[in-house]
Structure 1
Amino acid sequence: MSTGPAQAAPRRIALVWEQFAPYHVDRCEAVARRLRGRALVTGVEVASGSRRYAWAPSGPIDGVTKQTLVPGVDAEDIPRRRRHRALRDALPGHDVVILGLASSDPGTALLAWQLRRRGAAVFFCSDSKADDYRRHGAAEWLKRTLLRAYYGGILAGPRSHAYYRSLGLPAKRLWPGYDTLSNARLRHLAAGSEEPDFERRPFLFLGRFVPKKGLHLLLDAYTRYCASVPRPRGLVLAGAGPLQAELEAQAKDLGVEQRIRWTGFLGPQESAREMNAAFALVLPSVEEQWGLVVNEAVALGLPTIVSMQVGARDLLIRDGHNGFVVPTGASHALADAMTRMDGPAAKWLAMRDACAELAWFGDSERFADTIEAIAFPGNPEVEARIERLRAGEAG
């Protein structure tokens, strides 16, 4: 595949996001390691903070020239024109630009056109799926038009690929490997943390307390599960958000408040240690483009129960093998999955082993494979790994 006119080595590659979370740093570092000596990698974040996500500001990134365009400001507070000018001025001169921004935003599409006119191969990143929510014809037509600004896209799973094919993008310009993180980093964070006895391990939810996560449904299902087994496991709700007071009141009304531990917001190491001590992750979202917490769970060998809406289940969860997939919004089905999960230790250990088999698909090295194939095509080993990833997406 050609991504533009031949350039003198080393090539210049820019990876762009609104703000660097730990998993964005993972991807930047994976690309820099892979392309050391062949490319100069620049990591660009628009802002150092966000009101939506409570990520701590990131530090230096190994092997990467990092730029924060508007430091000390939350991304939501940056005027659109200032944001566009900062990005436009930071990115010229790069051969390949990966935009992890809203691809259907007119400002991002305009930026992509401007960069392509200057000779860059510009790719968007996305984990959107057709079934995320009800789609409207006029909005989809506009999105189809705006996507013409990009050379191609880096996507997260088969439903995402199908969606962007339906918007008119050719398969040869759509790549896998977007929603990934460093398995090694997660395992390092969890190393040495407490691992309770099998009987004492709790179910775990880890994420924001917002409507799309299905937490009211989880509490209802957990109550049903508690009534169906003689010695119910506890439930840890790790996170924070606007629904917390409602959830606490619901738990009290259901009579399960004494079985639940609320941790508040957790940083990366605390999150990894909660996972290492858990029995199973539960993610019953009613809307979930991907769900990187599933990558984290699989990396740490934690069996997982997810709703069908969770994009990550296509690649990382095999029903009955390393977890369970339940219909979205079905409390009875979720409670049944929790009951089935709470079986003999041998079954649970087998599910943990199965996680190890699938963790490869969610590692940030897969993102590095795709960037290498885009910037330096023709490596048969890289192409073989990408084909393995595509085969995994096919199930």
Structure 2
Amino acid sequence: MGLAERRKALGYSQEKLAELLGVDRTTVGRWESGRTKPQPPQRRGLAIALEVTLAELDALLTQPRASQETTGHQSSDHRGAGDPDEMIRREFLRILTVSGALTALPLEEAEALADGVRRGAPADFARMNSHLWQVYQLARSKGSVHPVVRDQLSTLNEALADTRGNSRPLLNAAADLFQLAGEVAFDANRYSDAAASYSLAASVSKDALAFDPWACALVRHAYVDVYEHRYEQAAQILGAAARLARRGDRSLATRHWVAAVQAEAYAGMGDLASCERALDEAERVLELGTESTNGGWLRFDGTRLAEERGARYVQLGRLDLAEETLKQALAQTALASGQSYRRRGAVLADLAAVGAKRRDPEQVVAYGREAVRLAQASSSGYVARRLQALCDEFSALSRDRRVAELGAEIAALSTP
């Protein structure tokens, strides 16, 4: 079986496959004819779309056509079938395809077939998603939620495939779940997977005309650029998120969360004035009622404002403002439950960074070692990543034995 045959077996046209991969239809045609081969960044997406492993894709691309016609590909049930990452990616693509088809159905035709959905299945999905978000927030190891999210995606895929009526409730549930899957991937430092999840969440939210989850998906996507220090690109995405949030529910905290992340992008660009304006806008979330969040894709309630502001001052080099604010945040995380491992570890890393910038090895070691302990206890790639960024500040203190030992402990942390 060749590349074209595999595509047809899955029901894709060249146009649809090109759309999924973000390339032109003629590019797919050139791959199938053997005139060109996909570039490394395109290979993984093509393998996911065709539901094969990378090794199987290589076989499809390199075998002579006659051999392709007679040999067939090795079943993914035998190679990589136990890989939860590969399985969850496939569910993403299936749901995106199905949801796109659902939204194209004539409403009159669809409503007649919607009895099952109207009897409560979407509400069941919403309740399960809410439960999964709570489990994620309370889990010390965020990756432990991954298999459950995968199973929920599979179940949701089946429901979407069977639905021909008002699909918006299920699309909303899919957008919610994609954002959670992205959070799990982001915490494990799988940036590409996280970005793909957030993109899918935005696409499905757009189909459902759900402006608040759409904006939140873009905010999470911008985080990927922020943590890879692409601040200008992040600011562009966040600008789009802000416009969507203005079209959403004014009783929700969406626009204030957008502002909080914009502050981080502005700090990365060295713009103190814009950063503080964004932080002030973020703090207006405190004026909203208790129904401003949903505990799922929207959780910004202002409880983390002190640590956010402190981290921004560290970015901007305002160490006096940073230390005072971060110590307030540290006291708050000591009282928090569930998610305090990740939050407290991040604040400790920022306080250690203040010490490094001041060339104070005592402060670096005191806060840094506690952050390492929390990173080890929680298996959090997020905290480990913050600590590894801290090591970039150690150059002026490299001769201090305690700092060198801390650097070795940080280097030994696992970042999946």
TM-score bracket, normalised by the shorter chain, equals: under 0.3
Task: Report the structure number with the largest CA radius of gyration.
Answer: 2
Which structure features the higher share of helix residues? 2
TM-score, reference length from structure 1:
0.26
Report the TM-score when normalising by structure 2. Answer: 0.25
Q: Which has the higher contact order (CA 8 A, sep 6+)?
A: 1
